[in-house]
């Protein structure tokens, strides 16, 4: 079984403590927070692509089967 390539990134993100928003440097803390959220969103992309690939595969097979079934039904209705 293949190891998820984002496991190491997730471990690093989880290990680092959440930055505290301070009145002294709010823009820096907001930038750090936005960067962290962006990394979390990027970590989700491979899983979403796998699910999308599965959805499209099942959908294409289902559409072909439906079209074939409709052809059979129409063929028998005409005869």
More confident residue, 17 or 76: 76
Give me the residue spans of the domains in the chain.
1-13+24-43, 49-79
- Could you report the per-residue pLDDT of 14-48, keeping only the tens digit for each? 666 665 656 667 788 888 889 999 999 999 999 99
The three-state (H, E, C) secondary structure of 17-53, written as one string: CCCCCCCCCHHHHHHHHHHHHHHHHHHCHHHHHHHHH
What the block records as the tokens of 70 is 């409709």
Instruction: Return mean pLDDT, the chain.
Output: 83
pTM for this model (two decimals) = 0.53
Residue whose C-alpha is closest to residue 9's, from 48, 35, 31? 35
Q: What percent of the chain has pLDDT over 90?
A: 51
Distances from the Cα of 3 to the Cα of 6, 7, 8, 22, 46, angstroms: 9, 8, 10, 38, 13
Can you give the pLDDT at residue 30?
86
């Amino acid at each position: 079984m293949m190891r998820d390539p984002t496991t190491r990134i997730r471990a690093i993100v989880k290990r680092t403590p959440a930055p505290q928003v301070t009145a002294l440097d709010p823009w820096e803390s907001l930038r750090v927070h936005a960067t962290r959220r962006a990394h979390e969103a990027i970590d989700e992309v491979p899983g979403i692509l796998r699910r999308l690939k599965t959805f499209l595969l099942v959908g294409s097979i289902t559409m072909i089967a439906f079209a074939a079934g409709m052809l059979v039904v129409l063929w028998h209705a005409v005869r």
